[in-house]
Amino acid sequence: MSELNIKYDNDALLLDDVDYRIIHATQKGLPRTPQPYHFIASELELDAGDVMQRIQRMQDIGVIRRIGAVPNHYALGFHGNGMTVWDVPDEYAHDVGAQVGALDFVSHCYLRPRHLPDWPYNLFAMVHGRDRDEVNAKMENISELLGSQCRGHSVLYSSRILKKTGLRITERR
Amino acid sequence: MDNLDRLIINTLQDGFPICDNPYAVVAQDIGTNENELIQRIDSLLDEGLLSRFGPMFNADKMGGAFTLCAMTVPKEHFEQIANYVNSFDEVAHNYEREHTLNMWFVVGTEKPEQIDAVLDSIQSHTGLVVHNMPKQEEFFIKLKFNV
């Protein structure tokens, strides 16, 4: 797996070097051992209480979204994964986005700029289902939910993964 | 995959405690024991049913810049252009999609101004327009697949 050399300015951040060492030590996953935070602490020669406090703080400020499992939806039988896209008038976009993002079959939901005339859509929502029929049905549910707050929509299916290395944060030098 | 596996997958999408013995805490909540839980998570990862278990970092809270880009690439040059786009370390994901805009990729850089340099290179090398679609707002509730 290739690694992106992402390094960050000290002053841009609320994080210090110790936080980055913890990020680096956990970005491939949490150790599966009864005391995972103690395990990380001993690897980094830190105090376990300090490690837990820092992880808690990073979670509180949103640097860590949450700790948990990422299911491989394809392996779990969700073979339909469609990028649904919506043209929502700007004045409704925030509220509509929150509404769509809260649906349990929507994983990622974003507002992005339109590129007229090629691309009229400003709301993106990844919809997952067992197959494309299920995704299309869920898209129709969203469409009904939005009613006149939506001027148009479409769904894009991926036909091929051309690259998937993911983003990796390297330890700062 | 049995019911305990399903319960584990569903439960672990809601978060994980930060405490001395977090596996023991979760195990008790779902009616199993610490060792069994740890072994199950290991197996789910090995079998690829879970792609990851651990902290999910929000990279753009750490100062990096990320954007989604889309291009209309002529079929006859598709492979060649895909290889060129993928040759950038800054390109993290790239998907072929069924649309006029048929190539969609994510660019991530250390600093925001480096995004433009990557996109400029791609535009000048390919002669194609790269539509830059950085996220303006994110609605992230949770990833939740009930299995």
Does residue A65 lie within any of the structural domains?
no
Percent of the residues in chain A that have a pLDDT greater than 90, as a whole number: 64
The pLDDT score that the predictor gives to residue A4 is 39
The pLDDT score that the predictor gives to residue A2 is 34
Mean pLDDT is lowest, of A45-54, A139-148, B61-70, for B61-70
What's chain A's average pLDDT? Answer: 87
Does residue A92 lie within any of the structural domains?
yes
Q: Does A63 touch chain B (CB under 8 A)?
A: yes
CB < 8 Å from B in window 14-33 of A: 15, 23, 26-30, 32-33
ipTM computed for the complex? 0.77
A46 beta partners = none
A9, pLDDT greater than 50: no
- The DSSP call for residue A31 is -
Does residue A104 lie within any of the structural domains?
yes
Helix (H) or strand (E) holding A156: strand A152-164
Residues B72 and B77: their CA atoms lie apart, in Å, by: 11
The C-alpha of B104 sits at a distance from chain A's nearest C-alpha, in angstroms, of 9
Task: Give tens-digit pLDDT for B28-39.
Answer: 999 999 999 999
Pick out chain B residues at pLDDT < 70: 141-147
Q: Does A138 touch chain B (CB under 8 A)?
A: no
Does residue A40 lie within any of the structural domains?
yes
A88 shares its domain with A150: yes
Q: Which domain holds residue A128?
A: 80-157
A153, pLDDT greater than 90: yes
| A vs B: CB pairs below 8 A | 245
Which residue segments constitute the domains of chain B, with CATH numbers given?
3-46 (no CATH), 59-133 (3.30.70.3460)
Residues B71 and B78: their CA atoms lie apart, in Å, by: 11
Q: State the CATH number of the domain containing residue A116.
A: 3.30.70.3460
A86 shares its domain with A36: no
Yes or no: say if A172 and A16 are a contact pair by the CB < 8 Å rule.
no
Domain count, chain A: 2
Query: Are residues B134 and A113, on separate chains, in Cβ contact within 8 Å?
Result: yes
For chain B, the distance separating the N- and C-terminal CA atoms, rounded to the nearest angstrom, is 10
Length of chain B: 147
Q: Name residue, tokens 């979204």.
A: A65
The pLDDT score that the predictor gives to residue B14 is 86
A84 shares its domain with A153: yes
